Amino acid sequence: MTLAERVLDGDIRAAARLMRDIDDRFKSAIEELKTLYPHTGNAYIIGITGPPGAGKSTLVDQIVSAYRKKDLLVGVVAIDPTSPFSGGAILGDRIRMNRHADDAGVFIRSLATRGALGGLSRSTTDVVNVMDAMGMDVVVIETVGVGQDEVDIVSTAHTTVVVMVPGLGDDIQAIKAGILEIGDVFVVNKADREGADRTARELTTMLEMKHPDPAGWAPRVLQTEGARGVGIDALVEEFDAHHVYLKESGALQRLIEERNVKLFTDTLREELFETVFGAIKSNGQYQEILAGMRDKSTDPYSAVQKVMAGRAFS
């Protein structure tokens, strides 16, 4: 049996191996993904984003527990940053979810960003598809948590959750571009800290100023204490309510189509780059381009145009 067939047959080891091959960019993984793709589209995908220190991993741990109480199978994709110097990554998010290690109904996979921006790894969508095909009811994606531009999660998840904590800055932080636009649910975690109520009020006010469509989804601000499990049940109920809204409004199909567009364009972009770059490296053009840039006989813009036109360098 192929890896894909074993995954569809419920083989956890095969799924783990395929995810490793996907992350290592093995060409053989593409054929397996082709087999799995018709079996995707059933899992409910939740994206968790927010700044470092907001308690995302602890919150994910509690969310996993809440869904397991409902006897649902849960997959977790935890993204960690890659060092720009050594290329290494400490995949430590799973440590906070260690209590689920012996639970056969939970599958946790850590991924390194490997230089990708936007809060996700390049292989995130493919890994989510494997979890989807292997029968996970819910897949939770925890972004790397590096800043305010983690908007890629919107085109990957069905429900995007923005986690904030008191004391990260003034109310200007709440209105910066991208923060209010991406969230379906807003969470003020570590609500036992001073200023939590104020942070929640400011977020609520900013959301009300957006003048949302009366017939659309109105994001709410919830308060939680991830470390103690406070507010988790209400948070999961909000997720379920948003999922129902997506189905009944038809927005879920739109999200699926947007996700398909992103998957296709990202795959095409990578394949085109690898094909073109591989060709100019093997035929010597790459070194000629670098030499031309070094002595200023060419510029990077003209070089790219010549490569795209398929013209050889003299």
Contact 83, 211 (CB under 8 A): no
| Extents of the domains making up the chain | 40-249, 264-309
Which of the two residues, 211 and 164, has the higher pLDDT score? 164
* Mean confidence (pLDDT) of the chain: 86
Could you give phi then psi for residue 257, rounded to 5 degrees? -65, -40
Residue 96 to residue 60: CA distance in whole angstroms:
9
Mean pLDDT of 241-264: 93
Contact 183, 161 (CB under 8 A): yes
User: Is a pLDDT exceeding 80 seen at residue 125?
Assistant: yes
16: confidence class by pLDDT, cuts 50, 70, 90: very high
pTM (two decimals) = 0.87
Q: Which residues pair with residue 47 across a beta bridge?
A: 141, 160
Q: Considering the chain, what percentage of its residues have pLDDT values greater than 70? A: 84
Residue 140 to residue 222: CA distance in whole angstroms:
18
Mean pLDDT of 51-63: 90
Dig out the tokens for 71 from the structure. 């006897």
9: confidence class by pLDDT, cuts 50, 70, 90: very high
Give 296-313 as a DSSP string. Answer: TSS-HHHHHHHHHHTPPP
**What pLDDT does residue 206 have?**
84
> What CATH number should be reported for the domain whose range is 40-249?
3.40.50.300
Residue 61 to residue 80: CA distance in whole angstroms:
16
154: confidence class by pLDDT, cuts 50, 70, 90: confident
Residue from 245, 235, 246 nearest 56 by CA: 235
The side-by-side arrangement of strands in the sheet containing 138-142 is 106-112, 74-80, 138-142, 44-49, 159-164, 185-188, 220-223
